[in-house]
Homo-oligomer: A and B are copies of this chain.
Amino acid sequence: MTHAPASFTPEPGGSVAVFLEPSADGLAARLADPRQPAVLVTDQGLTRGDGVFETMTAIAGPSGHRIRKEDSHLERLASSAASLDLPVPDAESWRQAAAAGLEAYAAGTPGTDAVVKLVATRGPEGVPGGGHYVSGTADTGSDGELTDVTAGTKPDAPALSGTYWVLVSAVSPGLAAARERGLSVLLLDRGFDSSVSERAPWLLMGAKTLSYAVNMAAMRFAAAQGADDVIFVSSDGKVLEGPTSTVLLARRVPTADGADTVELVTPLRSSGILPGTSQGTIFAAAQEAGWDLGYGPLEPSDLLDADGVWLVSSVRGVAPVTSLDGVTLDVDRELTDRLATFLDADRSPGRHGPLH
């Protein structure tokens, strides 16, 4: 990807957008003020929620920002895009765009953590490859040869006809307080049974798409009941995930020598949930620490009986659940701190990561 000069410096606290756009030699990064309109009303990300995204945290340090779990996020973005048959830039292009955005952000707001969002949409309707992209990179023509369904590209390199950008912005000030205070959570029916993702790939259960209207409606429903967040449950009674987070629970297990060990459990991935990048990182560190790891299936009673329940996500981090449908849950401060330390350590998730 071509490096573009830092053509935009935001005011203190201001956000930076970096667009990945076609250029003579592939893709170029263009810095821009996100307060300026940038997207067409015909973009299918907007008209159909047809796209994917990732939200990452960048930690400020003496030699610039370090993006937490960047590899895991980029792997999951690629996996989500594959579910949607959506051509997206390669990981290195995203990495460079994020770095350019963070550099410009730091010029306006030095030395503070930031949120880095990556978005890819199918692009405007009616553009070659945009509205007509059918099944991956290529289609078999009547003569039996591979013919590309997008215009002007090799069969093995689908046209990047979508809209792609990185947005670097300030961390919302309320998140640390919410994390500290803990979350009152409602259990809400997600409508699907826990085996649907295996039989119906068109439901995109494991993809992080832009179609989040239901997730947002569930959060509004919870807020209207005075709750902070939601844990979705399948129609067959299995614990799934939060609208923007992964569920973890821990059990302290007494050992023969009188000490405790900890069992850390997350819902079964095949039940149709997003693979959590924070969960993967925490699990990798927990395993190194000698904890036992478990993968559901979990039911609401498992949450009530646990020694701790958390919603984990990249930006809010590790937030303890303090009540579930109005029932107070035990909060284990020591375990919360250890999970947060595991996340901060940002170890490679290995086989506990989003794609393994």
The residues of A with any CB-CB pair to B shorter than 8 Å are 15, 17, 34-51, 53, 83-85, 117, 119, 121, 133-135, 165, 167, 188-193, 196, 199-204, 207, 209-218, 220-221, 223-224, 235
The 8 Å CB contact of A48, one of B47, B192, B216, is B216
Chain B residues with CB below 8 A from A207, complex form: 213
The 8 Å CB contact of A213, one of B37, B188, B199, B209, is B209
CA distance A78 to B235 in the complex (A): 29
Are B214 and A119 neighbours in the complex by a CB distance under 8 Å? no
CA distance A345 to B50 in the complex (A): 35
CA distance A216 to B215 in the complex (A): 18
Closest chain B residue to A197, Cβ basis: B191
Are A39 and B46 neighbours in the complex by a CB distance under 8 Å? yes
CA distance A176 to B114 in the complex (A): 51
CA distance A40 to B43 in the complex (A): 12
State the majority secondary structure of interface residues on A.
Answer: mixed
Also in contact, A119 and B35, with CB within 8 A (given A134-B223, A204-B217)? no
Interchain nearest-CB distance for A73 vs B (Å): 16
| Contacts A/B (CB < 8 Å), 18 sampled | A34-B40, A37-B38, A38-B39, A39-B40, A44-B216, A46-B46, A46-B121, A46-B210, A48-B210, A49-B212, A50-B212, A50-B213, A188-B202, A191-B193, A191-B196, A192-B235, A201-B221, A210-B211
CA distance A217 to B192 in the complex (A): 17
Closest chain B residue to A49, Cβ basis: B49
Are B41 and A193 neighbours in the complex by a CB distance under 8 Å? no
Q: Which of A44, A50, A85, A167 has the most CB of B within 10 A?
A: A50
CA distance A39 to B221 in the complex (A): 27
Chain B residues with CB below 8 A from A35, complex form: 40
The 8 Å CB contact of A189, one of B47, B200, B209, is B200
